[in-house]
Structure 1
Amino acid sequence: MAHEVNISVRSLVEYVYSSGSIDSRFRSQSTLVDGTRAHQKIQKTYKKEDQKEVYLRAEIRYEDITFIVDGRCDGLLVDNETITIDEIKSFSKPLDQIEGDGSPVHWAQAKMYAYMYARDHQLTEISVQLTYVHLETDQKKYFKQTLTFSQLDLFVQKVLDMYAPFAKLQFQHQASRNLSCKELPFPFETYREGQRKLAGTVYKTILDEKNLFAKAPTGIGKTISTLFPSVKAVGEGLVNRLFYLTAKTTTRKTAEEAFSRMEAHGLCMKSVTLTAKDKICFKEEAKCNPEYCEFANGYYDRINGAILDILTLETCLNRDVIEAYARKHQICPFEFSIDLVYSVDAIICDYNYIFDPKVALKRLWQEQKKSTVILIDEAHNLVDRGREMFSASIQKDMFLQLKKETKGIHQTIYEMSNRINSWFLSLKKAHEGKKEFILEEVDESLKQHLEQFNEAAEQVLKEGNFPVLLDAYFKVLHFLKIMEMLDAHYVIYVEKQRNDFVLKLFCIDPSSLIQQIGLGFRSKVFFSATLSPLRYYQEILGGDAEDFVTTIPSPFKKEQVEVLVKPLSTRYRDREQTKEQIAITVNSLIKHKQGNYLIFFPSYQYLMAVYEEFKKLDPYTDTILQDVGMSEMDRENFLAAFQPNPSKPLVGFTVLGGVFSEGVDLPGDRITGVMVVGVGLPQLCFERNLIKQHFDHKGKNGYNYAYVFPGMNKVQQAGGRLIRSESDHGTILLIDDRFLQLPYHALLPEEWQSFTTI
């Protein structure tokens, strides 16, 4: 059976000829733009009969594979009957540093274009030229060869010889994958109630190329209910790649376990889990510098062998597996995982790899997107994460510090920093006495100052290491990029923080940007147990009227959970008066029903106040506290303390909306009850009030959008830690008088509505 491989000229030759090291020391962000200008400048010197940006395509048969290779050559030069393929490369280093007679990758690219053109036009001979141009001086350096078609044919065969093992490995895997996906049974004996409906809705969403917003209760098995139908869609040829996006490490583990379970039932699929660079880096500092890091040094000389090795022998490429193979091949584990993304079937990663303009994966071409499904777990988290990803800020003190550090050393940076610092001082004077204030627009003079600052910073950073300047450079660069996105969904404001002033471009409503980034993917599935109210989340996550929407009822019996409400005030002004009563209520519940309990508080300060009251009342019950800045090991130890069949009670004091509020699974009697103190409202602040005002002006209930919906989401997430399976039983205690009032009461899950007031 013949197979087809669609690949660009550049991707093909880079796979075969790339070599050298990862070196992420400073490079100007304007290089790409400058490179394009340099190309255009050279192309303007072409004669009338010459051509530029010529599209070339060839179908090349290699054994049982047809390679469909295409791309655009920079120039096609005509001199009498001689044809020359011109490949232009811009250079920022001195041209005398070009090794030998040019880069092997550059020659390979030019030769591939020459082969394609010569074959199409039945030429027996053709010339290839590398034109190197220095970005700053416009100095040029040329290398030229004349080759026969038979020489080019041998060259192309050699390239395909080198690429074919990888292509064959992929074909063999895809055949096995597709068959295994088609034949894969549901990896549990039976569906839980509601699981079949969710899985069926996800499959139909993919089949119809739609998006889905699904509210599905905690404990239903949302991960397998979304992954399984997506895998089946791969078997039917609808999908070629899946992304499973999460906000927390704990939910990534659940996705890994789902793939392992499906693999145990016959699935042949390769998945990779992306781990943050600073967590997976083997070195003390995550500096990708060949002089500092042996895993960066020579990375591209070893990466192809490492990819072939791991893809041949492994399926679930989690952090441990990636680290093991990275050490084996002496390569950077983070870059290794990123390179694997483009060769595997499923990617488990954080939201930012798709949605964050700073770090999103750049090599997902439009054609690949059409066969890619995005599964967005705990999608309620994407609202605030979206606001964070699409916002940017700069502060006065950053420029004041640079002004002090560069005086008499880097005069241009000193002058630019002084101008921006002075701009902030003028702003402060114009708004004397105000802690926060809104600006209608960003002053054009500030934009010019920032652009000039970054131009000057680029020159200094090329010369050597300057950490403070480097940090400022990237903050300004991001700020300028976000400035280009400003529209009615943004508010520009200034906030005084002690003696500092912060200017922020605040994305109040991330809906349009989330929608824009999601365009092109076959389907997106937003799902969560707490996607409530559903219409609110559909609106703010960029949904539209054509999207599918589903609500899955809880599969668990109401008798499995006892819901109690204690109507005490937990409002800030009343906390001192009611903290003792809360401690008494907690103590009464654990005495009534012995076991392990989690208590969630709206703040760490409040947690400590009630904890001290509780210990006065009951110094003998074992307690464990969530601490500020817990490491992953600390978190694991915290959860490990909740053992089944406890001989005496254990009470865990935690923060609502923190690391233990969601994605935590304590099945059976590892947990007997959950108590939630307060309705979870975010702290009153300037930003939250801006959100309120924004949606008020749109005719919505701004207070609900800014405070109530996010707060009650946290309450539902915390309560969802209790019932995880058909055999679980327990008690939820809600402490706040507002749980008896609208809109809070209406936002409680249906299975909590039959509560008892105590």
Structure 2
Amino acid sequence: MPHTIQISVRPLVEYVFRSGSITSGFRTATTLTEGTRAHQQVQREYGEQDQKEVHLEAEIPYEDLVFAVEGRCDGLIIGDGNGPVMIDEIKSTSGNLDDITEDTYPVHWAQAKMYAYMYAKLHSTDEMAVQLTYFQIPAGDMKRFRRTFRTEELEQFVLEVVAAYAPYAYLLRDHAIRRDESIRGLSFPFPGYRAGQRKLMGAVYKTIGEGRRLFAKAPTGIGKTISTLFPSIKAMGEGTVQRIFYLTAKTITRTAAEEAVALMEAGGLHMHTVTLTAKDKICFGEEEGCGKDSCVFSEGYYDRINGAILDLLQNETTISRPVIEAYARKHKVCPFEFSLDAAYAADAVICDYNYVFDPRVSFKRMPEEVKKRSVILVDEAHNLVDRARSMFSAELRKSMFLEIQRAYKEINPGLYQAVKKVNTRFIVFRKVSGEEERMVGSHQPELLDELLEEFVMHAEAELVTGKSAEELDQLLECYFAAQAYLRISKLYDDRFVTYAEIDGSEVFLKLFCLDPSYLLQQAGKNYRSTILFSATLTPLMYYRDMLGAEEEDYSLSIPSPFSHEQLDVRLMPVSTRYKDRDRSKDAIVNMLDKLVKEKPVNTLIFLPSYPYMQDVYNAFKLLNPDLETQVQGHAMREEEREQFLSSYQVDRKEPLIGFAVMGGIFSEGIDLKGERLESVVVVGVGLPQLSFENDIIKEYFDRNEKNGYDYAYVYPGMNKVLQAGGRLIRSEEDRGTLVLVDDRFQTRQYNALLPEEWRHYRRI
């Protein structure tokens, strides 16, 4: 039985024909790719008989494989019927058309010839014409190359293409057979199930089977990572799922996913899992040959990447950062781009939220048919609300454009005039504002999109001139900000506001997404299933609302598997409101002093802000100068974070008292089991600071008949409390003391948001 390879034209020909280097520093969004405006302008010239955006498909047998190839050609020129039908492949460029010759881009000819072959086979024609149309932005000039091919020539060409792709296809086929066999024999990697674990796994499996979304509130310590990955992998073995995306907000939760996969691999699983690391973290840097203007790992990247991917996939399954780095050095390829290329071939990808949800970053080359057979697992899904607001918002500053205007006045008149128009538009905002320092509106600024598009076109033309990265840094930053703004402006609707802040000559402009639910819903629509899970999706209705649930989507809430006896909860009802902090500080410090003397164990104390934390810490240290303490610092490096956590050891001679910020890096995702952490103190109800943006969010939800204060302040704040307190009991063996400090915990509004096992508190 022949094995079928489903593939689109573009990835097929790019695999075989792409060559050369990654463009250092700047990769324009339109250069030599399908620019929508360019297509439309070229297609307007077509005759009545001609067609645009024509879907084509063909089956191409090769040995014991069948390539099911499909794609959409830009144009089909029928003409007057006297000559052969012609395929038109349109490419836009900001570069100089004089630099493009007939043979500059073999991959473009390959793409057009594939379409020509597919049309010829479908319509039994003997001859086809092929045309490459290069459209120069912004001038609108065109350059065309034409060739004619006999159908036998096209067939020979297509067979050569699939033959070149075949080793990769065979590798993926053989891997898939071995993977599916290993999944069928895979057992749950623990001797038993924790309470609620089977229920969660069953819900995940059912949700994937039905192609829906699941919102799961599952308590800390239940084993959420394995409980979502295991049923997803089982669904992959049955052919329901082709790919798994495990999304996390933090490096530490990424590690938990890697460990869960390693555990299953020890039990016989054979699966390609790639972990993606942020570009700035994985880049080798100048000491290894990656400078600003040249990089040995980027130069000739496409000449080496296919060999690197084959080597990697033949020899590795768990493809973590160290593995990527080792093979990148071996094959001299850029580690970040290499990891992305490996991700397109992997069975499972562990990565940040933005690779799926951010319109500026997401997997652009992921075919729709792959998405339709993929499951998204969103770990710590409570984080996605704020992250999504950020991903779907965009901001600009007037000063950015004024600097470019000054820099290019004599150098590039076209760019100077384009950026001057944008800067002038900002001056209009400033004048309209009068004496007001802020303006808020429900519409986008008039004309700004058109002016930014003109600026972007001229900026691209300047950025491809080959100047050094240092010379172009300022322009590059401004260009990317304008592109981000234009991308978000296309998503703008009544869930956004526009606001401007005026400070002297500076104007700050923001398209601010207040409610990301619809855009999150749309981003996940193309995928088979999405599982959103966290210990703190409380209240569930709020997170369903904010994360884009539809009526038919499932919800699941699993009670804590741990007994009340494991947790000694105490409540200190004093005010930690900003105005009362000086008054209540001494009482809190005295309570901490008594606690560490009564319970001389490793302790973590969470406070609402850095200044407040430092204040309480200083007073505590005066009372306990000999106690070993540590304090979370601002913008800690990864090694410093690891040092902070690794200090919490079981075999310490003296207990360690740590001070950290609620909602910070140590208040979620960390796992300090047993005697590593036996006391946690949470000071305050975690409310975000009163701010202009939070007030806008509050007013928006008030207008939409919801409790705006709860949506903007209470629910996000209490989530930080639940996360911080959740650091304490991580397993059936853990015991500990949790102290909640704030009189608001006694009120119905806040008490109702506490986990059931926390409500059995003792007042102190």
Give a deviation string over 1:278-317, Cα, whole Å, max 9, x none. 1111124999999511111111111111111111111111
| TM-score normalised to structure 1 length | 0.94
Equivalent in the alignment of 1:75: 76
Contact 1:54 1:76 in 2 (8 A): no
Instruction: Give yes or no for contact 1:281–1:332 (8 Å, CA) kept in 2.
Output: yes
Q: Report the 3-state secondary structure (helix = DSSP H, G, I; strand = E; otherwise coil) of the residue aligned with 2:194.
A: coil
**Could you tell me which amino acid in structure 1 is paired with residue 573 of structure 2?**
P
Which whole-Å CA distance do the structure 2 matches of 1:691 and 1:292 have between them? 45
SS of residue in 2 equivalent to 1:629: coil
CA spacing shift, 1:413–1:156, aligned 2, 3 Å: closer
The answer as to whether partners of 2:217 and 2:557 remain within 8 angstroms in 1 is yes
Residue 220 of structure 1, CA deviation = 0.7
1:458 is aligned to 2:460: yes
Give the letter aligned to residue 674 of structure 1: V
1:497-525 deviation digits (Å, cap 9, x = unpaired): 57633221111111111111111211111
Deviation at 1:388, TM superposition (A): 0.6
Query: Which piece of structure 1 moves more, 489-498 or 544-553?
Result: 489-498
Cα pair 1:101 1:143 within 8 Å, conserved? no
Q: Kindly state the Cα deviation for residue 147 of structure 1 after the two structures are TM-superposed.
A: 4.1
Partner Cα distance (1:267, 1:462) in 2 = 47
Matched, 1:632 2:632: no
1:725 lines up with 2:758 in the alignment: no
Offset at 1:155?
A: 2.9
Aligned to 2:56: 56
Please list, as runs of the form range in 1=range in 2, the aligned pairs for 1:119-518 lying within 5 A after superposition: 119-122=121-124, 128-132=130-134, 134=136, 136=139, 138-147=141-150, 149=152, 151-284=153-286, 292-410=294-412, 417=419, 419-463=421-465, 464=467, 465-496=471-502, 500-518=506-524
* Cα distance in structure 1, aligned partners of 2:540 and 2:356: 23
Residues 290 and 297, structure 1, Cα contact 8 Å, conserved in 2: no
Question: Is 1:102–1:143's contact at 8 Å kept on the other side of the alignment?
Answer: no
Q: Distance in 2 between matches of 1:113 and 1:699?
A: 53
Uncovered stretches (5+) of structure 2, i.e. residues with no partner: none
- C-alpha deviation, 1:28, in angstroms: 4.9
Stretch deviating more after TM superposition (158-167 or 605-614): 158-167
How far apart are residue 710 of structure 1 and its match? Answer: 0.6
> What one-letter code is carried by the residue in structure 2 that aligns with 1:359?
V
Q: What is the DSSP-based 3-state SS (H/G/I as helix, E as strand, rest coil) of the residue aligned with 1:492? A: strand
Match of residue 580 from structure 1: 586
- In the alignment, residue 389 of structure 1 is paired with which amino acid? M
Shift in alpha-carbon separation, 1:131–1:77, aligned structure 2, 3 A: farther
Query: Contact 1:24 / 1:288 at 8 angstroms: preserved in 2?
Result: no
CA contact (8 A) 1:54 1:75 kept: yes
1:121-142 CA-partner distances (Å, limit 9, x unpaired): 5556555554555554635342
Q: How much does 1:402 deviate? A: 3.6
1:694 equivalent to 2:719? Answer no
SS at match of 2:507: strand
- The reply on whether 1:663 has 2:663 as its aligned counterpart is no
What SS does structure 1 have at the residue aligned with 2:245? strand
How far off its partner does 1:72 sit?
Answer: 3.7
Instruction: Indicate the RMSD between aligned Cα atoms, in angstroms.
Output: 2.6
Task: Please give the secondary structure, in 2, of the residue aligned with 1:653.
Answer: strand
* Structure 1 residues 309 and 619, CA gap change in structure 2 (3 angstroms): same
Partner residue in 1 for 2:3: 3
Task: State the one-letter code of the partner of 2:697.
Answer: I
The letter of the residue matching 2:10 is R
What residue is the counterpart of 1:528 in the other structure?
534
Q: What letter matches 1:198 in structure 2?
A: L
Are residues 133 and 478 of structure 1, via their aligned partners in 2, closer, same or farther at CA, if it must alter by over 3 Å? closer
1:205–1:410 Cα change, 3 Å: same
Supply the distance in 2 between the matched residues of 1:134 and 1:395 (Cα, whole angstroms).
29
Indicate if the aligned counterparts of 2:32 and 2:91 stay in contact, CA closer than 8 A.
no
Superposition deviation, residue 440 in structure 1: 4.0
Deviates more, 1:295-304 or 1:392-401: 392-401
Assess, with a 3 A threshold, how the Cα gap between structure 1 residues 378 and 486 changes in structure 2: closer, same or farther.
same
Q: Which residue, out of 98, 109, 112, partners 2:111?
A: 109
CA distance in 1, matches of 2:308, 2:19: 14
Whole-Å separation in 1 of the counterparts to 2:241 and 2:663: 35
For residue 396 of structure 2, give the secondary structure of its aligned residue in structure 1: strand
- TM-superposed CA distance for 1:407, in Å, is 5.0
Superposed displacement of residue 154, structure 1: 3.5
Contact 2:117-2:151 at 8 Å conserved across structures:
no
- Provide the secondary structure at the position in 2 that maps to 1:681: coil
Instruction: Verify the 8 A CA contact 1:95 1:141 in the aligned structure 2.
Output: no
Q: CA deviation at 1:102?
A: 4.7
CA–CA separation in structure 2 for the residues paired with 1:339 and 1:549 = 35
Question: How far 1:342 moved relative to its partner?
Answer: 1.6
Question: Scaled by the length of structure 2, what TM-score is found?
Answer: 0.93
* C-alpha distance 722-40 of structure 1, shift in aligned 2 (>3 A): closer
Find the residue that maps to 1:660 and give its secondary structure: coil
1: CA distance between counterparts of 2:111 and 2:422? 45
SS of the aligned residue for 1:637 comes to helix
1:550 equivalent in structure 2? 556
In the TM superposition, what whole-angstrom CA distance separates every residue of 1:472-506 from its partner, at most 9, and x where no partner exists? 22212222332222222112222345763322111
Q: CA deviation at 1:99?
A: 5.3
Paired residues of 1:399 and 1:417 also in contact (CA < 8 A): yes
1:65 maps to which residue?
65
Q: Structure 2: which amino acid aligns with 1:294?
A: V
Please tell me whether residue 23 in structure 1 is matched to residue 8 in structure 2: no
1-structure distance, mates of 2:707, 2:83: 74
Is 1:623 matched up with 2:629? yes
Aligned pairs (5 A) from 1:703-718: 703-718=709-724
- Judge which range, 503-512 or 457-466, deviates more: 457-466
Structure 1 alignment gaps of length 5 or more: none
Between 568-577 and 210-219, the greater mean CA deviation after superposition? 568-577
Question: In structure 2, what is the Cα distance between the partners aligned to 1:480 and 1:50?
Answer: 32
Q: State the secondary structure of the residue aligned to 2:752.
A: helix
Q: What secondary structure is seen at the aligned counterpart in 2 of 1:188?
A: coil
User: Aligned pair in 2 of structure 1 residues 434, 554: CA closer, same or farther (>3 Å)?
Assistant: same
Q: C-alpha distance in 1, partners of 2:93/2:409?
A: 31
Secondary structure of 2:571 counterpart: strand
Q: How many matched pairs?
A: 757
Preserved contact between residue 30 and residue 93 of structure 2 (Cα < 8 Å): no
**Residue of structure 2 equivalent to 1:746:** 752
- AA aligned to 1:620 is D
Could you report, residue by residue, the CA deviation over 1:596-623 in whole angstroms, capped at 9, with x for unpaired residues? 1111111000011011101111100000
Work out whether residues 102 and 130 of structure 1, in 8 Å CA contact, stay in contact via their aligned partners in 2.
Answer: no
The answer to whether the 8 A contact 1:22-1:288 is kept is no
Using a 3 Å threshold, how does the CA distance of structure 1 residues 331 and 528 change in structure 2: closer, same or farther? same
Rounded to whole Å, the distance in 2 between the matches of 1:227 and 1:58 is: 36
Q: Which moved more, 1:507-516 or 1:423-432?
A: 423-432
- Seq. identity, %: 54
Residue 43 of structure 1, CA deviation = 5.4
Q: Is 96-105 or 653-662 further displaced after alignment?
A: 96-105
**Who is 2:679 aligned against?**
673
Residue matched to 1:519: 525
Q: Secondary structure at the match of 2:597?
A: helix
Mapping of residues 84-103 of structure 1, within 5 Å? 85-98=87-100, 101-103=103-105
Q: 1:246: Cα distance to partner?
A: 0.6
8 Å CA contact retained: 1:16, 1:159: yes
Could you tell me how far 1:700 is from its partner in structure 2? 1.5
